[in-house]
Amino acid sequence: MVTRAPGPRVEILGPSGTKLLTEGCPHDGLIRDALSPMLGPWITRLGADVIGTRRLGDDPAGAEALLEAVTSSTADVVVTTGGTASGPVDHVHPVLERAGAELLVDGVAVRPGHPMLLARIGDREAARHVVGLPGNPLAAVSGLLTLAEPLLRALAGRRQRPRYTVPVEGDVPGHPYDTRLVPVLLTDEHAVPLRYNGPAMLRGVAGADALAVVPPHGARSGQELEILDLPWASGGCFT
């Protein structure tokens, strides 16, 4: 029996905002937290050891709890969800500043997922990294594949996954100036774009094998696009 070596230790700091429900049907402007129940298993599939999940509020008390969590966690990597933008309840940037963190990535030219961030707390020899994922589910998946997974591989001393391309079936609309990540189904010959690819949607990811990297202004049918496999869809695990 082959056993996997322990991966980087990860703690997840999930949202418990005033608009999120943990059970029951959506009502009165409240929505179900679709992301948190899946985030731990997804990160485990990326090869990490998830040591715990904490739910924090988006109020001042939640900001103080976030500061305590990112400065005292015993994890190698802390993953936060939501609060990475610049709105009145977005506390991640101010908390990281108070914690003396060094921002390594502060937003990216990718849709969905542009407010994702990567920070480092402490010196290089004993640093703790913070991956800030956007709160919208598909945007968070974008951050997992483009920030969290490469970081976890580097911390584990594993090579990055090989890059490859597949021709796309049909024209794909693009963003005017940012890269788009679009859920696709992989066939023997093509990457087939799926509907339901908005930042708050998980329906597209649920049926997808991968995300296709669509350049600004879009792609023509038959154009080769870089592919980011979804490990939890393909059965892969941080190899």
Q: Which of 136, 155, 174 is the last residue of a domain?
A: 155
Q: Which of 134, 155, 176 is the last residue of a domain?
A: 155
Q: What type of residue is 91?
A: H
pTM higher than 0.85: yes
Looking at the structure, do residues 128 and 190 belong to the same domain, yes or no? no
Q: What is the pLDDT of residues 55-99, one digit of tens each?
A: 887 778 888 999 999 999 999 999 999 888 887 778 899 999 999
Q: What is the pLDDT of residues 157-209, one digit of tens each?
A: 999 889 999 999 999 999 999 999 999 999 999 999 998 888 878 888 888 99
- Phi, psi for residue 221 in degrees, rounded to 5: -55, 130
Is residue 9 within 8 A of residue 79, CB to CB? The reply is: no
Residue 218: give the domain boundaries: 165-234
Q: Which of 122, 155, 188 is the last residue of a domain?
A: 155
Burial 83-100 (b: 16+ CB within 10 A, else e): bbeeeebbbbbebbeebe
Residue 59 counted as domain residue? yes
Has residue 121 got a pLDDT over 90?
A: yes
For 66, the enclosing helix (H) or strand (E) is helix 60-72
How many domains is the chain built from? 2
pLDDT category of residue 238 using cuts at 50, 70 and 90: very low
**Alpha carbon distance 205, 182 (integer Å):** 9
- In sequence order, the 6+-apart residues with CB closer than 8 A to the CB of 177 are 109, 216
